[in-house]
Amino acid sequence: MFSLCQTMRWYGPNDPVPLSSIQQAGATGIVSALHHVENGAIWEISEIEKRKKTIESAGLTWEVVESLPVHENIKTHSGNYTELIENYKQSLINLSACGIKTVCYNFMPLLDWVRTNLVYELPSGAKALRFEPLAIAAFDIFILKRSKAIDDYDANLVAEAKSYLKKIRQKDNGEEKKLIETILLGLPGSEEKFTLDELRDRIESYEHIDTTILAKNLNTFLNHIIPTAEKYDVHMAIHPDDPPFSIFGLPRVVSTYDDFKRIINNTNNNHNGITFCTGSLGVRTDNDLINMIQDFGEHIHFIHLRNIKRDSKGNFYESEHLDGAIPMIEIIKQLVKLQQKRKKSLPMRPDHGHQILDDLKKDTYPGYTAIGRLKGLAELRGVELAIKEMLLDTSQK
């Protein structure tokens, strides 16, 4: 029977989690990117080979690139964007020449994933990542002072945001500074870091780009790169927006069932695929994840398994992998079936992990602790094994 290929993300030689820890966690594959290469530049074969060799000498395989970043000029159709698309294609050709044939990327303007608290303490003392719309509103309206920000929130939220900020300013315990850093400095994997002024200016440069235009620019990008991906057998896997809705007035076009349908239909070719990220998609209650596996299964080339707990105010935090709003057991069951149908193992990584045990004392990348991810991977692996056994049992009866 085909099984999920268990992978973990490794940020390269500067990652505080060594490859040996990933191997001890039971993963066989690595998800990595050349973060040191400037965004937009070609990934040269020599650099790809170097990273590949490092991974292989630790007894692991480089399974997936996450991410090959899409330059802002491509998203906005500005400056040298046609040249940048050519560079992107060349990077795909080079990756294929080195045998790395699954590439994750995203099309989120300016910011990649966003959270407002990286050390949200759970009753056990474990720490998790959390997102609060109130903190986003306070930052946007009163700290970033984006023009028109106030129009994007309802009056009650604006008032609440004002008193939230007043309260944390009174406490004077560094909470405001922490919030600013959390949003501006970018989470691991994000390509850019901004100052407040830079972010405000860059957001303004998106003033004339709404969701229709951004979706059109994504289509243009796909029309250019998918034929190359097909020719060199590279499976492209677009990552959903995280969280899956507009932030700071910026358009987001990879958030819903209809977005994926549009993307797939645009270039209906198996190499035009998706990263099925449960934790990102699952934040929206109108995203039916099981339905998405059923309808887009042929295009799922990479899987991120993570859970969340959300409340009626739109707050969410990253919960235990098997405990939260995402029906993880049913999802794994569907993925087991999908792999048998496609006669293919799909790469999966436990997406993020809590800060627990010794990692509470260590400085690791937010969400990318060794022990929290090890725990997530072990639980997910156990569920998959049990489901496979049960399916085998019933098919033999």
Interaction site with ligand DNO (CB under 6 A)? 66-67, 104-106, 112-113, 189, 239, 304, 367
d(C-alpha 328, C-alpha 183), whole Å = 29
* Catalytic residue check, 351: yes
Active-site residue flag, 352:
yes
Residue pair 328/307 in contact (Cβ under 8 Å)? The answer is yes
Q: Nearest CA to 62 among 50, 75, 80, 76?
A: 50
Give, for 31, the enclosing helix (H) or strand (E): strand 29-32
The least CB distance from residue 13 to ligand DNO, in Å, is 18
Burial class, 58, CB count within 10 angstroms (exposed 0-12 / middle 13-18 / buried 19+) = middle
For the bound state, the minimum distance from the C-beta of residue 388 to ligand DNO, rounded and expressed in Å, comes to: 26
CB of 327 to ligand DNO, least distance (A): 20
Residue 4 · residue 27 · CB < 8 Å? no
Residue corresponding to tokens 């087991």: 336
Query: Would residue 233 show up in a list of annotated catalytic residues for this protein?
Result: no
Q: Shortest approach of ligand DNO to residue 214 CB, angstroms? A: 16
Q: How far apart are the C-alpha atoms of 9 and 31, rounded to whole Å?
A: 4
In the bound state with ligand DNO, the residue whose beta carbon lies nearer, of 209 and 274, is 274
CA-based nearest residue to 77, from 208, 194, 242: 208
Q: Which is nearer to ligand DNO, 101 or 333 (CB)?
A: 101
Question: Of these residues, 140, 352, 354, 359, which one is catalytic?
Answer: 352
Euclidean distance between CA atoms 20 and 24, whole angstroms:
6
- Cβ–Cβ under 8 Å, residues 52 and 62: yes
CB of 67 to ligand DNO, least distance (A): 3
Annotated active-site residue in 15, 112, 242, 351: 351
Cα 302 to Cα 35, 131, 150, 339: the distances in Å are 20, 24, 38, 12
Q: How far is the CB of 280 from ligand DNO (least distance, A)?
A: 7
User: Of 168 and 308, which CB lies nearer to ligand DNO in the complex structure?
Assistant: 308
Give whichever of 132 and 191 is closer to ligand DNO, judged by the CB atom.
Answer: 191
The question of whether 271 is a catalytic residue gets the answer no
DSSP string, 103-134: EEE---SS--S--SEEEEEPTTS-EEEEE-HH
User: Are 17 and 370 within 8 A, CB to CB?
Assistant: yes
H/E element, 238: strand 235-238
Report, in Å, the least distance between residue 379 CB and ligand DNO.
18
The catalytic residue among 71, 88, 105, 239 is 239
What's the rounded Cα separation, in Å, for the pair 280 and 306?
A: 8
Tally of CB atoms within 10 A around 322 = 16
**Beta carbon nearer to ligand DNO, 273 or 367:** 367
In the complex with ligand DNO, the residue whose CB is nearer, 119 or 390, is 119
DSSP state of 143: I
Q: Which of 120, 153, 271, 277 is catalytic?
A: 277
Has 239 been annotated as catalytic? yes
Q: Closer to ligand DNO at the Cβ: 43 or 105?
A: 105
Shortest reach from residue 104's CB to ligand DNO, in Å: 5
Choose the catalytic residue: 304, 317, 321, 359.
304
Please identify, using beta-carbon distances, which residue of 333 and 373 lies nearer to ligand DNO. 373
- φ, ψ for residue 7 (rounded to 5)? -125, 165
Please return the burial class of 165, using the count of CB atoms within 10 Å of its CB with bins 0-12, 13-18 and 19+. buried
Residues catalogued as catalytic: 239, 277, 304, 351-352, 368
